[in-house]
A and B are shown apart, each in its own frame.
Chain A
Amino acid sequence: MMEKMIIGRYVPADSLVHRMDPRSKLIIIFLFVCIIFLANNFTTYVLIGIYTFLMLGLSKIPVRFLYAGLKPVLWLVLFTLLLQVFFTKEGSLLYELGPIKIYEEGVRQGIFISMRFFFLILMTSLLTLTTTPIEITDGLETLLHPLKKVRFPVHEMALMMSISLRFIPTLMQETDKIMKAQIARGVEFSSGPIKDRIKAVIPLLIPLFVSSFKRAEELAIAMEARGYRGGEGRTKYRLLSWNLSDTLQILILVILTILLILFRS
């Protein structure tokens, strides 16, 4: 199941979107999430749609890959659509069958809201598909840097994020190992009643917790031995470079915002 999910997965490729600065991508996503609520009629949704598909095209992510990965989410979009269609009772009556009544406003609302939902998912997954998690962390760290003034621990948060990212595969491997060890001892993870299966997770979680704490301690010692003493006086190895294309991309989004404001009803 995890194999198919594409939310939060990075697909390496060499495209304009891949090469963009993570900061500009984060800013664009943040703005996009805001301005999508400006759309409220056919023209504005078309504008948003054109923009989204343009970005998708630029990212060179194979459509087949996107479709396979987003299929589970599409059900959710469909569900939203149906919910709106059946439960909005405004506008003129379009169709009636026994207790089921479908109104014009319901269809309109349903299509718009599910479109909004769909574009949001596409754009946000585009961010994680084209940006490595560590780039996102770096981008966030620099964008949130001003918050240091109000004593928000930006550097520590970023370090925590990058260490967690680094340890996810390690812990996955470990979980797998413990699981096999427990199966060898007769624990059943994949059969039996739900209650038993939930109980079977306990002998999996406890060793995992114990070893994670041990890892954390050893990691802290290793970090200290390598001279780590907080964010003060630290230089950065990863370099973010803001290019002309980043400025242009933001400019395009600003133009889109202006168009949306002009054409919305």
Chain B
Amino acid sequence: MRKTVISLENVSFQYENQSNFALQNVSFDIYEGEWLAIVGHNGSGKSTMAKLLNGLQFPQQGEITVCGIGLNEESIWEIRKKLGMVFQNPDNQFVGTTVQDDVAFGLENHGIQRDDMVFRVEDSLKKVKMEHFLNQEPHHLSGGQKQRVAIAGVLALRPSIIILDEATSMLDPKGRGEVLETVRALKEEDSLTVISITHDLEEAAKADRIIVMNQGEVYREGSPEDIFSLDDELIHLGLDIPFSIKMSNAFRQKGIDLSKHYLSEEELVNELWTFRSKI
């Protein structure tokens, strides 16, 4: 059995002055070292989930445990050290005037000694391949670069979990690729747990496990293959299935059966150009 790093038990949350519950009776576990994608359309409660995990909001009911520590007012600072967050807008999370100041911001907050800080800033910028931009100002960076700096800022605190809260949704395809590649490499290197909250199923397709949220509840939970076999149900939930899946479904309808149901775009291309030779 894998180790559980975060567990939610019957969590319910309601924003002030709102009659509907943003989250209702949500329970699930997140395991060490996995890449978990939480997907859902706008208002499905997936962003609320991110805020709860980090103690930016507290649930009215239920328990959240992060790394064995119960989440409450006193423990949030300890937990925030273990759980780094990257937000949606690259500009609105850049606090420092230069790249290195921004990475150091979190370290300063936690009272890390300066010698250690200098080392950690450099080290984490190297990990996201931004070490040549030490003195660059944010407005000279692309969105993808800013997000990588944000990731470095999170890494500097040596967390065990990273939450990407729609972190790629404002980026162009190139920036998106950069960020996801970086996170993937880091996950392998430092055995991090990654939780990506997204409405982009292409991004979710690369996860180990997907949780589909709908109207504040967990709708379905499973591997990408399981989830994408829901097809129409997903479209019903306001989610768009990835192009490669749509494509292979269309092939299937035409009577051309490809080997697997779930394929990434690259796999699909490979499958197609070797298709004839197989027959």
CB nearest to B91 among chain A residues: A170
Whether B139 is near chain A, meaning CB under 8 Å from some CB there, is yes
A236 contacts B89, C-beta separation under 8 Å: no
How many Å lie between the Cα of A59 and that of B96 in the bound state? 27
A237 contacts B138, C-beta separation under 8 Å: no
Closest Cβ–Cβ distance, residue A241 to chain B (whole Å): 12
How many Å lie between the Cα of A162 and that of B117 in the bound state? 20
| Known contacts A223-B95, A227-B77, A227-B157; A235 and B111 CB within 8 A of each other | yes
Within 8 A of B (CB), among A125-165: 133-134, 162-163, 165
Whether A62 is near chain B, meaning CB under 8 Å from some CB there, is no
A235 contacts B87, C-beta separation under 8 Å: no
Q: Chain A's interface: helix, strand, loop or mixed, by majority?
A: helix
Q: Which residues of A contact B100 (CB under 8 A)?
A: 237
Give the interface centre of B97, B114, B118 by most chain A CB atoms within 10 Å: B97
| Known contacts A170-B91, A218-B87; A237 and B139 CB within 8 A of each other | no
B95 contacts A235, C-beta separation under 8 Å: no
B85 contacts A225, C-beta separation under 8 Å: yes
Q: Per a CB cutoff under 8 Å, which of B112, B139, B154 touches A169?
A: B139
B114 contacts A222, C-beta separation under 8 Å: no
Whether B226 is near chain A, meaning CB under 8 Å from some CB there, is no
Whether B148 is near chain A, meaning CB under 8 Å from some CB there, is no
Q: Which residues of A contact B154 (CB under 8 A)?
A: 226
How many Å lie between the Cα of A225 and that of B154 in the bound state? 10
A237 contacts B93, C-beta separation under 8 Å: no
Whether B208 is near chain A, meaning CB under 8 Å from some CB there, is no
Against A, the Cβ 8 Å flags (1 = close, 0 = not) of B74-90 are 00010011001101010
| Known contacts A166-B95, A237-B117; A222 and B110 CB within 8 A of each other | no
A226 contacts B153, C-beta separation under 8 Å: yes
B77 contacts A235, C-beta separation under 8 Å: no
Whether B56 is near chain A, meaning CB under 8 Å from some CB there, is yes
How many Å lie between the Cα of A254 and that of B56 in the bound state? 53
Closest Cβ–Cβ distance, residue A110 to chain B (whole Å): 42
A215 contacts B121, C-beta separation under 8 Å: no
Whether A202 is near chain B, meaning CB under 8 Å from some CB there, is no
Q: Per a CB cutoff under 8 Å, which of A215, A229, A235 touches B113?
A: A235
Q: Which residues of A contact B77 (CB under 8 A)?
A: 227, 229
How many Å lie between the Cα of A20 and that of B116 in the bound state? 25
B109 contacts A227, C-beta separation under 8 Å: yes
Q: Per a CB cutoff under 8 Å, which of B80, B104, B139 touches A173?
A: B139
Whether B253 is near chain A, meaning CB under 8 Å from some CB there, is no
How many Å lie between the Cα of A235 and that of B112 in the bound state? 6
| Known contacts A166-B94, A222-B92, A227-B81; A236 and B114 CB within 8 A of each other | yes
Q: Which residues of B contact A262 (CB under 8 A)?
A: none
Closest Cβ–Cβ distance, residue A95 to chain B (whole Å): 55
Q: Which residues of B contact A224 (CB under 8 A)?
A: 56
How many Å lie between the Cα of A227 and that of B110 in the bound state? 7
12 contacts between A and B (CB under 8 A): A133-B97, A134-B101, A166-B94, A215-B89, A218-B89, A225-B85, A225-B87, A226-B109, A227-B81, A227-B109, A229-B77, A236-B114
A169-B139, A235-B107, A237-B107 known, 9 other contacts, Cβ within 8 Å: A134-B101, A166-B95, A221-B51, A221-B56, A226-B157, A227-B77, A236-B108, A236-B114, A237-B117
Q: Which residues of B contact A (CB under 8 A)?
A: 51, 54, 56, 77, 80-81, 84-85, 87, 89, 91-98, 100-101, 104-114, 117-118, 121, 137-139, 153-154, 157
The 7 A-B pairs of least Cβ separation, nearest first, read A237-B104, A222-B93, A218-B92, A169-B139, A227-B109, A226-B106, A225-B85
